[in-house]
Homo-oligomer: A and B are copies of this chain.
Amino acid sequence: MKVAKFGGSSVADSSMLGQVASIIEADQDRKFIVVSAPGKRYDDDVKVTDLFIQLGEQYDSGQNYEETLFKISQRFMSITEELELSKDIVARIENESRRLLRETTNTTHLMDALKAMGEDSLARILSAYLNKRGTKATYVNPKDAGVIVSSDPNGAQILEKSYEQIYRLREREGVVVIPGFFGYTETGILTAFPRGGSDISGSIIAAGVQAELYENFTDVSSVYCVNPKIVDQPKEIHTLTYKEMRELSYAGFSVFHDEALIPAFKKNIPVCIKNTNDPDCRGTMIVASKKDNGQPVVGIASDTGFSTIYVRKYLMNREIGFGQKLLSILAEENISFEHAPSGIDDMSVIIRTEDLKGDKEETLMNRIKNELQVDTVDVTHGLAMIMLVGEGMSNRLNVASKATKAFAEADVNIDMINQGSSEVSMMFGIYEENLNEAIKSLYQEFFLTD
């Protein structure tokens, strides 16, 4: 049994839904289907979820929301008409939305419930459409499916006991269509996962039904080994381990947020990223472990927008607790640090530039200067981080050597190297203007040279 999740771009209009139905019908094992809300059909289009958010905000601020509600109805109307389904589904969306606006007093609950309407309605539509095509399908609400979540204000977390109930979905006949993106608390309150949460839902269902595979259908045929905006048509990654995926997701690989896959990872369910528009393409498998294929680096991730805070203080090395004091100032200012390379009398802290917005930079500089009595404190902006990732790195001697050679050949100075904690990654800091040249050279060295 497989769980297939279809993202927003895969369910954006009726023709895409036709493609989705064909994919489901092409493999009898695709029994559990999790769907997002309809996404953009073209560049300037608005996602259904954004329309629902707009609706809630207009209501909350006392503005007229009729036009927004009309747009939502129209969007679903065009789908149901083109698929020749009953108009009741659309009428239900309008009525249910009005009821929520009228009856829900808690703003957070209202927003979650409105946002969830996109996924919920699409699941009802897909289920009806499959039945119309002669494929037996049932819409199952997450509450009935057993998706019970915590009421954590920092983001709903699935409760372990959910899985037992979800497992019983296996007993259902035919295809089971479940809306993604939300669950219910133990007291029955609809609660949304963080944005992009349909991936989480699919992952939870896959874990619960103990699927043989979690297929994540999106609009790319596979994960590339390097950003395709920098390298033209780079090689595809056929197999990634969970660990590699997590490291890559961190820095610039935005196929989906790695944390969404945790429920599946924990139960050892393999994940396959596939393209709705090219379902026969093998895609990228994400697995717990893989054979060493002699390739030390599986992917190169990169991200920009970093800054370095450089601190120098004579005899810093002798001052026990100096590093801790510096990091505690950062923590007090609510700034997360990425890396902290240190010398004898100096220490650098690498942070995201966005964390220095407003007067934060000045505050931070002053606190470091005054509280730590340093000789020098400087800040440098415009850094990029490059991360080489691969489980094969841990037992190969020459990865650092090949990497640094690639930088030298691209005439790119390395500002920072951070290796030593993770066994499956190596991090380099360079200036942003050199990023493309560096990535191209690394790609050449690790993927095109034997």
Q: Which residues of A contact B (CB under 8 A)?
A: 246-247, 250, 259, 308, 310, 315, 317-318, 320-321, 323-324, 327-328, 330-331, 334-348, 350, 395, 397-398, 400-401, 403-405, 407-408, 411-422, 425-427, 429
> In whole angstroms, what is the CA distance A427 to B425 when docked?
18
Asked whether, in the complex, the Cβ of B417 is within 8 Å of the Cβ of A408, the reply is: no
Q: How far is the CB of A60 from chain B (nearest CB, A)?
A: 29
Chain B contacts of A401 at CB under 8 A?
401, 404-405, 407-408
A412 nearest in chain B by CB position: B397
Asked whether, in the complex, the Cβ of B429 is within 8 Å of the Cβ of A414, the reply is: no
Asked whether, in the complex, the Cβ of B412 is within 8 Å of the Cβ of A342, the reply is: no
Q: How far is the CB of A220 from chain B (nearest CB, A)?
A: 23
Chain B contacts of A400 at CB under 8 A?
400, 404, 407-408, 414, 417
Chain B contacts of A327 at CB under 8 A?
321, 323-324, 327
Q: How far is the CB of A299 from chain B (nearest CB, A)?
A: 14
Asked whether, in the complex, the Cβ of A419 is within 8 Å of the Cβ of B416, the reply is: yes
Taking A331-B320, A336-B320, A401-B401 as contacts, is the C-beta distance between A341 and B407 under 8 angstroms?
no
Taking A340-B340, A397-B412, A401-B407 as contacts, is the C-beta distance between A335 and B320 under 8 angstroms?
yes
Q: How far is the CB of A224 from chain B (nearest CB, A)?
A: 20
Chain B contacts of A421 at CB under 8 A?
310, 341-343, 346-348
Q: How far is the CB of A384 from chain B (nearest CB, A)?
A: 14
4 other A-B residue contacts (CB within 8 Å) besides A400-B407, A401-B408, A416-B420: A247-B344, A350-B420, A416-B419, A418-B420
Overall SS of chain A's interface: mixed
Asked whether, in the complex, the Cβ of A422 is within 8 Å of the Cβ of B338, the reply is: no
How many protomers of this protein does the assembly include? 2
Chain B contacts of A425 at CB under 8 A?
343-344
Chain B contacts of A321 at CB under 8 A?
327-328, 331
Question: Which 7 A/B pairs are nearest by Cβ-Cβ distance?
Answer: A416-B420, A343-B422, A321-B331, A324-B327, A341-B420, A401-B404, A400-B404
> In whole angstroms, what is the CA distance A414 to B418 when docked?
12
Chain B contacts of A343 at CB under 8 A?
247, 421-422, 425, 427
Q: How far is the CB of A84 from chain B (nearest CB, A)?
A: 47
Chain B contacts of A340 at CB under 8 A?
323, 340, 342
Taking A401-B401, A407-B397 as contacts, is the C-beta distance between A422 and B344 under 8 angstroms?
yes
Taking A397-B412, A418-B341, A425-B343 as contacts, is the C-beta distance between A328 and B320 under 8 angstroms?
no
Taking A317-B250, A323-B340 as contacts, is the C-beta distance between A417 and B415 under 8 angstroms?
no
Question: A317, A342, A348 — which one has the most chain B CB atoms within 10 A of its CB?
Answer: A342
**Residue from B310, B397, B419 within 8 A of A417 (CB atoms):** B419
A395 nearest in chain B by CB position: B413
> In whole angstroms, what is the CA distance A210 to B413 when docked?
40
A337 nearest in chain B by CB position: B323
Chain B contacts of A348 at CB under 8 A?
420-421
Asked whether, in the complex, the Cβ of B324 is within 8 Å of the Cβ of A328, the reply is: yes
Chain B contacts of A420 at CB under 8 A?
308, 339, 341, 348, 350, 415-418, 429
> In whole angstroms, what is the CA distance A413 to B296 when docked?
14
Q: How far is the CB of A340 from chain B (nearest CB, A)?
A: 6
